[in-house]
Amino acid sequence: MKKQIPIPSIERLSSIYMMLEEMEAEGVEKVSSKEIAARIGAQSHNVRKDINYFGEIGNARAGYETKKLKAHLSAKLGFNKPKKACVVGIGRLGAAILFYNRLAARGFSVVAGFDSNVNKLETLQTEIPLFPAHEITEVVRRKGIELAALAVPAAAAQEAVAKLIEGGIKGIVNFTPFVIMPPQGVFIRNMDLVGEFRVLSALSNIIF
């Protein structure tokens, strides 16, 4: 299937969805494209176009109904059913992710952690089952895990990625600086802190 919705739109739609969660919690019943745009830092045209990729849903007079729009996006974006996730590499960062409870609250249940250091697995106190790294493929496949946070040292990244992909992972958030070349159907989001710091440095160096 070919790409129809631009990736920037998908990113904005995720933000919009988050906004709607907040607004629902605040008890807001109606919302306009302008209000959404102001909250997520975009243009109202943009918001309307993004929402419209999934068909008409708003009311010309009154904007969007918070609840209805949220349910609509949830269905279209696939946020309605909880997804299983795992953490690979239980160092400081990996542990922080493992215990990050906003994930579960937002529909991502972390059902496994992996580390190559077996001692570490034994000493950690957690409800989440932990496994040695060589079991990645098998566990991911057996549990039907779709998403992974990769927080291993750079040197271990390549092998871990190969195992995740072999197990049928669908998406990886990559905290390492290692560049992943995913096969068709596997998506990557890079979150390398040094890289981000460098982009910020370069921006303030070049633009000012």
Partner DNA sequence: CGATGTGAAAGGTTTCACAGCT
Partner DNA sequence: AGCTGTGAAACCTTTCACATCG
The residues binding DNA (CB under 7 A) are 6-9, 32-34, 42-46, 48-49, 51-52, 56-64
Paired tokens of 12: 């904005």
> Taking Cα atoms as reference points, which of 45, 20, 25, 24 lies closest to residue 33?
45
Residue 134 burial (C-beta neighbours within 10 Å; 0-12, 13-18, 19+): exposed
Among its own copies, DNA, none, residue 57 binds (CB under 5-8 Å by kind)? DNA
Q: Which residues pair with 31 in a beta bridge?
A: 64
Cβ-based nearer residue to DNA, 64 or 178: 64
Cβ-based nearer residue to DNA, 9 or 176: 9
Among its own copies, DNA, none, residue 129 binds (CB under 5-8 Å by kind)? none
Instruction: Give residues in contact with its own copies (CB under 8 A).
Output: 1, 3-5, 7, 10-11, 13-15, 17-18, 39-41, 76-79, 83, 85, 91-93, 95-97, 99-100, 102-103, 106, 108, 146-147, 149, 170-173, 177, 179, 181, 185, 187, 189, 191, 193-208
What sign has the CA pseudo-torsion 114, 116, 118, 120? negative
Q: Could you tell me the CA-to-CA distances from 88 to 113, 121, 143, 145, 208 in Å, in that order?
A: 6, 12, 15, 12, 39
Among DNA, its own copies, none, residue 97 binds (CB under 5-8 Å by kind)? its own copies
Residue with tokens 């909250």: 39
Closest approach, Cβ 151 to DNA, in A, equals 27
Cβ-based nearer residue to its own copies, 75 or 118: 75
